[in-house]
Amino acid sequence: MKHFKLWAVLLITIASITTLSAETKRYEIKSGVIEYTITHSGNVMGMNINGKGIAKTVFKEWGNIELHSEEVESNTMGMKKREQQLTKVDNGKFFVVDFEERVIYEYTPETLKNSEYQNFAKTGNEMLESMNGKKIGEENFMGYPCEVWQMMQVKLWLYKGIMLKSEADMMGIKHTTTATKINLDVSISKDDLKLPNFPIKSASGLMMYNGDENENEVPQLTPEQIEQMQEMMKNFSTK
C-alpha cells in the first residue's frame, strides 16, 4: 500500500507494546508535544542515499489520542524527493494520511487482526515475543531515564512508553529519529490533533502488502524498506 511507511510501522509497533485499546493508557504521561529531527543515510547496490527532515508528535489522554507528522527530503544519487507523512491514533483506531491521493485510511483493531499486519494488533508481551524484542538496558536521554528496547533491526528509547529516539538499520540504510524538544503534561487543543479535510476510507477492503504479490502497490517505500518488510512478514509468519 502506498501510504504504509517506516513511521507507520514504528508507530503501530509502539502502540502495540501498550495495546491499541481505548481502555488502556498507552503512556504513563497524560499529554505532550515532542519535536524530532530525522536522518537516514547509506548505500544500496552502489547508490548513495541520504536524507533529513523534521517530525512532531502531539498526544493527550495518556496517548490514546496522538498525531504524528513529519517531512523528509531524500537525495538518491542527486535525485531529490520530498515526502510528507501524517498518522493518528484515536482511541484504538489508527489513521494514515495519503497526501498524494488526498485520502485518509482508517484501521480498526479488527482491520489489523485480519490483515498481513495481524501481529501488530497483539498485546504487549505477545507483540514483543513475536518480534523477538527485548529490553536491553536503560539510558538517560535529554535528562529522561529511558528503557532501551531492541526489536529485530529497530532500537527504541522509551520514556514511560513514549519514544524519544529510534534507530533502524535496514538493508544498508540507517534511519535515526531523535527528539530535540520535549514538553510534557501540557494543554492540547482539538486543533493540535486535527487531520486534514480529506475523505476517510476504511482499510478493511484494501489488499495488504504480502511479499512479491503486491510489491507494486508500495511505490513510496524504498527498495531496502520493501525487502525489510518482506523479511518482517516472513518472521511473523513463522512465529
What pLDDT is recorded for position 11? 52
pLDDT interval class at 112 (50, 70, 90): low
The more confidently predicted of residues 164 and 113 is 164
Distance between CA 106 and CA 89 in Å, rounded?
10
- Please say whether the beta carbons of 113 and 121 come within 8 A: yes
pTM (two decimals): 0.74
Residues 173-195 pLDDT 10s: 888 999 999 999 999 999 999 99
How much is the average pLDDT of 168-175?
84
Alpha-carbon separation of residue 38 from 15, 90, 169, 177 (angstroms): 20, 24, 14, 5
Integer-rounded Cα Rg, in Å, for the chain is 17
Residues 62-74 pLDDT 10s: 888 999 999 999 8
Extents of the domains making up the chain: 6-222
Using alpha carbons, select from 121, 117, 106 the residue that is nearest to residue 205: 106
Report the CATH superfamily, name and number, of domain 6-222.
Lipoprotein localisation LolA/LolB/LppX (2.50.20.10)
The more confidently predicted of residues 217 and 104 is 104
pLDDT interval class at 48 (50, 70, 90): confident
- Please say whether the beta carbons of 188 and 58 come within 8 A: yes
